[in-house]
Amino acid sequence: MSFNNKFDLLVREFCDKVASTFNIKSDEVYRLWDSEASPSSSKAASPVKAKVSSSSTASVTPAASNDDTEITREKILSANKDMLIAMCKKQGVKVTGKKDELIQRLVDSLSAEKKEKKVEPPKKNSEPPVVKAVKDRMAELAIRKNKFGNFEHTQTSLVFNTDKMVFGRQLEDGKISELTADDIELCKKYKFPYKIPENLNTSKTLDDVKIEDIDEEVLDDDDLADDIEEEEDEEILEDE
């Protein structure tokens, strides 16, 4: 007799005992057991459970191993000398020396790793020298309307008129002073066109020259007449 037949016989005997005890039919007890047992479903489910458990174990194991192998400050301080030597080998530092020396080397190696992991801020791209020179020159030549409504060169306080010529210097009280010799030198430095004030205008017009010449000629004639009169007076005195 096979194993299945023997097992089925034992089940039937058990069902008969249950039926006689509770005064029910033996076939009903057997059918109830047969429907609840469902060996096919239990057999199919068990491999799945095994697979799930194995996969979950596999996924958890690496994480646990990573935590165990990671070197931290707490592990260094609580480790014995043999463990410290193993950590030194892993960190690539010297393994000889006292326990305190090994601890210090490992702590220093962790600090060095943290510094290396720090992200450096991106460096700003420096402007080409030509671009920087142009910007600096534009800043030097910046002419803006000031609070008094005048167009002023901010670096020198020189003021421009509507003809784009410098005609004075802006004062703090709002007034505009006439250009001085130093102001004109600044205009030449920045290549600004400027208007020479009257007090610095040394050029002579043709009319001024003619008037001066005429005055000199008149003075010469008067002097000559005086000389003639003096000579005549001297001759009269000699005759007497």
Is the pLDDT at 146 greater than 80? The verdict is yes
CA distances from 122 to 116, 119, 125, 142, 170 (A): 15, 9, 9, 32, 45
As a whole number of angstroms, the distance between CA 168 and CA 13 comes to 129
Residue 63's pLDDT is 45
- Report which of residues 208 and 138 the model is more confident about: 138
Q: Where does the pLDDT of residue 14 fall: very low under 50, low under 70, confident under 90, or very high at 90 and above?
A: confident
Q: Kindly report the pTM of this predicted structure.
A: 0.32
- Report which of residues 134 and 62 the model is more confident about: 134
- Report which of residues 115 and 43 the model is more confident about: 115
As a whole number of angstroms, the distance between CA 193 and CA 177 comes to 17
* Element of type H or E holding 182: helix 181-190
* Element of type H or E holding 145: strand 143-145
Residue 185's pLDDT is 92
Domain ranges (residues) in the chain: 3-53, 67-116, 133-200
3-state secondary structure of 42: helix
As a whole number of angstroms, the distance between CA 16 and CA 30 comes to 9
> Of 24-28, 82-86, 117-121, 126-130, which has the strongest mean pLDDT?
82-86
pLDDT tens string 154-186: 888 999 998 989 999 999 999 999 999 999 999
Please list, in sequence order, all residues whose beta carbon lies within 8 angstroms of the beta carbon of residue 93, skipping any fewer than 6 positions away: 105, 106, 109
